[in-house]
Structure 1
Amino acid sequence: MTEPVRLSKRVVEIAGCSRSEAEQYVQGGWVRVDGVVVEEPQFKVTDQRVELDPEARLEPAEPAPLVLHKPAGLPSAEAIALATPAHRWDEDPSGWRVHKRHFAHQAAALPLEDAASGLLVLSQDGRVLRRLAEDAAKLEQEFIVDVEGELAPYGWNRLSHGTSFDGWPVAPFKVSWQSEQRLRFAIKGVRPGLLQYLCNEVGLHALSLRRIRLGRIPLSKMPPGQWRYLPPSERF
C-alpha cells in the first residue's frame, strides 16, 4: 500500500502546480477522491483515485455572506446553525457553488429579537459586520407586524408622526395597513422592543414581527429555516 500523503501534495503531482495552488484547488471544491469532493488539503490519501475537475479555476477563498430566514422563537446566534448545505434555498439565484468553508465562523449582522422572524444577514467578514452595525441608525428596515386590539382615537396620527423610545426620539418612518390585523413598517434605527412599543402606544398589541427587507436586500419568498448566498452585486 502507498504511504499516506496529503491530498494537496497528490494534486501537485497530477496538476504540476505549486502547493498553494493545489490547496486553492482543493478548498475550491475542484478535487475528488474516489468520486467524492474533498475540500481539506490535509486529507490523507493512499491508493485512492484523485481527480482534478477539468473546469477547475484558481480562485481566492473570499468570505461568503448569506441571507437566512430566521424562524420565530430562535435566537439569532442559534439560527446560524441552520446555515448548512441541507438548508440552502432551492431557488437561490446566485449560482454559487457550495463549499464547506462558507459555513465556518459565520456571525449575524443586526440580529433579530428571539421572538421575531425574517431576514438575517450572516457574514464571515468582520468588516461587513462592523459596517452594518455602524450604519444601523440610517439603514431602513421593513417589518410586517401582526397586531390585535383597536386603534386608539387619533392613534394613527400619533403613530405616523413620530414619538420617542427610551428617552430618544424615533426617526420619522412610514407605516401602513396591509390588512385589518397587519401593519407594515419602513423604519430606521430599530432597537429591541421599539415596534412593540409603537403599537402599544396607540392601543395595539404586536403578536408577531417579521423583517422582510434590510436596506435594499429583500427576504423574497425564501421559506423559514432556509438561506441563500448574498453576492457582491446586491448592495445594502
Structure 2
Amino acid sequence: MSQRLPRTSATPPAAEGMRLNKRLADMGLCSRREADDWIARGWVRVNGQVAVMGLQVAPLDRIEVSPEARGQQGQQVTILLHKPVGYVSGQAEDGYTPAVALINARTHWQGDASRQRFAPGQLRGLAPAGRLDIDSVGLLVLTQDGRVARQLIGEDSEVEKEYLVRVQFGDVTTNVQTVFPAERLARLCHGLSLDGKALRPARVEWQNPEQLRFVLTEGRKRQIRRMCELVGLKVVGLKRIRIGQVTLGHLPVGQWRYLAPHERF
C-alpha cells in the first residue's frame, strides 16, 4: 500500500509549481537524485497518477510514495571512514585514489559494534557527504542515503564539524599561541570572507600552543586552510574529529565502520 503524503504548506508555493524531485527532497523524504530514481521506477504517484520525470507539482497536489521506495531506503548504509592523507574525498583526480576505494571487507574495523556485514552492493551509489582535502585526515561520511547527504551538505545544513588544526606563524613552529595576535584569532571566529562571500561565524580556540580547534557549520573548499592564510597562519596538519553528534573516536586510520541505528548527526 502506498504511503500518502499529506497536502502541506511546508513547501513554499510557486506560480509555476515546483519540480517533483525538489518537492520530495524539501519534504525530507530523500535527495533529488533518489527522488528521480523513485520516479523512474514508478514508485511515486501525484493525484493518483504515476508520476513522470520532470513533473511540476503545486502545493496542494497529493503525493504518494510506494512501500518499495521505503524498503529500498531501509537497506541503504552510511559509513564512517578515518580518511588517511593521500586520498581524495570524491571522484578520482590527477591520479589520486578516491576514499571510497578503502571501503571493503578487509578494512572494516573489528571494533564496529553494529554487527552489520559488508556486501559489495553497499558500494552502489555510495558517495561522500562533504569533503576532506587530500592533505587532511579524519572523519569522512560516505552514504547511500540522500536524507543523510542533505542533512550534512544541504544548503540549509547547520550541522557542526569539528577539526584539530596544527599551525605555524611565519617561521614560528612552537609556542605559536604566544606570538599570534589575539585580534587575528577573533577574525577567524567572525569577519572573514572567501570568494566575495562572508563566512558564517565559527568557534576557534587554542587546543594547545601549536594547535587550534575549529568548529564550523559550513564546508567551503579548503575553507580552514584559506581562513588561516588570511590571518597569516600556515596549516601543517588538519584532522576532522566530529560531525554533529558523531565522533571519530577510536576508529583507526584507513579503516571504517557503519553508522549505528541509534546514532544521529
Relative to the length of structure 1, the TM-score reads 0.68
Match of 1:121 among 141, 155, 160: 141
Identity of aligned residues (%): 38
Give the aligned partner of residue 86 of structure 1: 106
Tell me, yes or no, if structure 1 residue 196 matches structure 2 residue 225. yes
Aligned partners of 1:200 and 1:145: how far apart in 2?
Answer: 13
Give the aligned partner of residue 65 of structure 1: 78
1:76-134 C-alpha deviation (Å, 9 max, x unpaired): 13110111010011211222233333333311111212222111111123343244321
Q: How does 1:14-29 map to 2 (within 5 A)?
A: none
Give the aligned partner of residue 25 of structure 1: none
| Pair member with larger Rg | 1
Deviation at 1:153, TM superposition (A): 6.1
Aligned partners of 1:189 and 1:63: how far apart in 2?
Answer: 25
CA contact 2:83–2:138 (8 Å) conserved in 1: yes
Tell me, yes or no, if structure 1 residue 225 matches structure 2 residue 254. yes
Aligned partners of 1:194 and 1:104: how far apart in 2?
Answer: 29
Deviation at 1:223, TM superposition (A): 1.4
CA contact 2:203–2:216 (8 Å) conserved in 1: yes
Aligned partners of 1:192 and 1:217: how far apart in 2?
Answer: 22
List runs of 5+ in structure 1 lacking aligned partners. Answer: 1-58
Give the aligned partner of residue 175 of structure 1: 204
Question: Match of 2:80, SS?
Answer: strand
Give the aligned partner of residue 9 of structure 1: none
CA contact 2:151–2:157 (8 Å) conserved in 1: no
CA contact 1:151–1:202 (8 Å) conserved in 2: no
Deviation at 1:179, TM superposition (A): 1.4
Deviation at 1:71, TM superposition (A): 0.8
Distance 1:182 1:122, change over 3 A: same
Aligned partners of 2:188 and 2:152: how far apart in 1?
Answer: 27
List runs of 5+ in structure 2 lacking aligned partners. Answer: 1-70, 91-97, 170-178
Aligned partners of 2:244 and 2:206: how far apart in 1?
Answer: 21
Aligned residues: 178
